[in-house]
Amino acid sequence: MRSASDPLSPPTAANTSVTQIIDGKAIAATIRLEVADHVREHVAAGRRAPSLKVVLLGEDPASASYVRGKNRACAETGIDSETLTYGADLSEADLLQIIRSLNEDASVDGILVQLPLPDHIDEQKVLRAVSPAKDVDCFHPENVGRLVIGEPGFRPATPAGIMELLKRSGVETRGRSAVVIGRSNIVGKPMANLLVQKGIDATVTVCHSRTVDLPAVARSADILIAAIGRAEFVTAEMVKPGAAVIDVGMNRVGDPSRDRGYRLCGDVDFEGVAPIAGWITPVPGGVGPMTIAMLLKNTLFAATGLF
Ligand code: GUN
């Protein structure tokens, strides 16, 4: 369990004693069971199973591995999923045509175009081509707008997964200071928007490469979200004792002692930060499994209107 202290209280020995390691793998497994229950009910009511189409271009091993994970999780929860794989040389026009036909196909509930796309394709043009009603990534500007104004609808998987981790781990957000390091469209910006919504009520700061004295800003956070893509960037000096530290990073660092030649590490120096944090997510096994779990929730929403 977490420290008995309040993250808003000044750093003292008393609030550095116990750290809760947030088990994203276990929380994601619970969410998959919840989704599977809803899918079962939906099918028992005589409807077809929710259906997701994933569009993958090229053979990037990381993308292929993410997509396999998505398909596995869909199968486990009763969602029909299929990956449509094309060469990295597919033209933008052909990709847009494929998306248009998926938009028009009433047997398809959710469409996900795996990123990154090859350089010759305009990513924004492709993301805008996906019907907002089938946009399980929540990357279409219409859905991003709904998120910003707090309307119900799709939520981007990684930030939504982080909100679930905070909620299910008992991290108080109301009135707390949240600092997001990173301003990407996929994580940083939507994360900040979710944290500031009514009912969540955090006071939010977004840091980036031009932020002056980033370590001091980070140290002011009760909730610190690291999403910069730099291995072990967040060190103990940047963390307020008792803070909730969420690590979105998944970096490959060369390690000749391993068979595969690298090790995976997050954006947080886990060994240094864990002893002073109130809560911390590990890498792997923290945010990563939540991203797929929330994609399943979005696919369920696309098919049923339920969350
Ligand atoms: N590539 C890395 N993360 C994501 C994601 O959340 N969605 C898609 N479509 N591609 C990604």
Average pLDDT over residues 173-196: 98
**pLDDT score recorded for residue 174:** 98
Average pLDDT over residues 149-169: 98
Read off the pLDDT of residues 48-103 as tens digits, 9 standing for 90 and up: 999 999 999 999 998 999 999 999 999 999 999 999 999 999 999 999 999 999 99
The minimum-distance atom of ligand 1 relative to the CA of 295 is: 6
- CATH T-level fold of 156-289: Rossmann fold (3.40.50)
**pLDDT score recorded for residue 1:** 42
The minimum-distance atom of ligand 1 relative to the CA of 157 is: 6
Residue 153 has pLDDT above 80, yes or no: yes
CATH of domain 47-131: 3.40.50.10860
Lowest mean pLDDT, pick from 7-16, 78-87, 123-132, 191-200: 7-16
Cβ 112 under 6 angstroms from ligand 1: yes
Q: How far apart are CA 275 and CA 18, in angstroms?
A: 8
Cβ 137 under 6 angstroms from ligand 1: yes
Residue 12 has pLDDT above 90, yes or no: no
Q: Are strands 80-86 and 51-57 parallel, antiparallel or unpaired?
A: parallel
The minimum-distance atom of ligand 1 relative to the CA of 158 is: 6
Alpha carbon distances (Å) from 306 to 31, 37, 175: 14, 12, 29
| Atom 2 (ligand 1) nearest CA | 115
The minimum-distance atom of ligand 1 relative to the CA of 113 is: 9
Q: How many angstroms separate the alpha carbon of residue 34 from the centre of ligand 1? A: 23
- Which residue spans within the chain are E strands per DSSP? 20-21, 51-57, 80-86, 110-113, 177-181, 203-207, 223-226, 244-247, 251-254, 262-265, 279-280
**pLDDT score recorded for residue 305:** 87
Read off the pLDDT of residues 195-226 as tens digits, 9 standing for 90 and up: 999 999 999 999 999 999 999 999 999 999 99
Read off the pLDDT of residues 263-289 as tens digits, 9 standing for 90 and up: 999 999 999 999 999 999 999 999 999
Q: How far apart are CA 233 and CA 218, in angstroms?
A: 11
Alpha carbon distances (Å) from 273 to 5, 92, 142: 17, 44, 38
Domains 47-131 and 156-289 share a fold: yes
Mean pLDDT for all residues in the chain: 94
**pLDDT score recorded for residue 3:** 45
Q: How many angstroms separate the alpha carbon of residue 27 from the centre of ligand 1? A: 20
Q: How far apart are CA 20 and CA 3, in angstroms?
A: 8
Cβ 157 under 6 angstroms from ligand 1: yes
Q: In which band, very low, low, confident or very high, does the pLDDT at 2 lie, cut at 50, 70 and 90?
A: very low
Query: Rounded to two decimals, what is the model's pTM?
Result: 0.93
Q: How many angstroms separate the alpha carbon of residue 110 from the centre of ligand 1? A: 14
Q: How many angstroms separate the alpha carbon of residue 60 from the centre of ligand 1? A: 13
| Atom 9 (ligand 1) nearest CA | 114
**pLDDT score recorded for residue 238:** 98
**pLDDT score recorded for residue 11:** 46
Cβ 115 under 6 angstroms from ligand 1: yes
| Atom 4 (ligand 1) nearest CA | 115
**pLDDT score recorded for residue 307:** 64
Q: In which band, very low, low, confident or very high, does the pLDDT at 17 lie, cut at 50, 70 and 90?
A: low
Q: In which band, very low, low, confident or very high, does the pLDDT at 292 lie, cut at 50, 70 and 90?
A: very high
Q: Which residues are catalytic?
A: 70, 114, 137
Residue ranges covered by each domain of the chain? 47-131, 156-289
| Atom 1 (ligand 1) nearest CA | 115
Q: What percent of the chain has pLDDT over 90?
A: 93
Cβ 138 under 6 angstroms from ligand 1: no
Q: How many angstroms separate the alpha carbon of residue 233 from the centre of ligand 1? A: 22
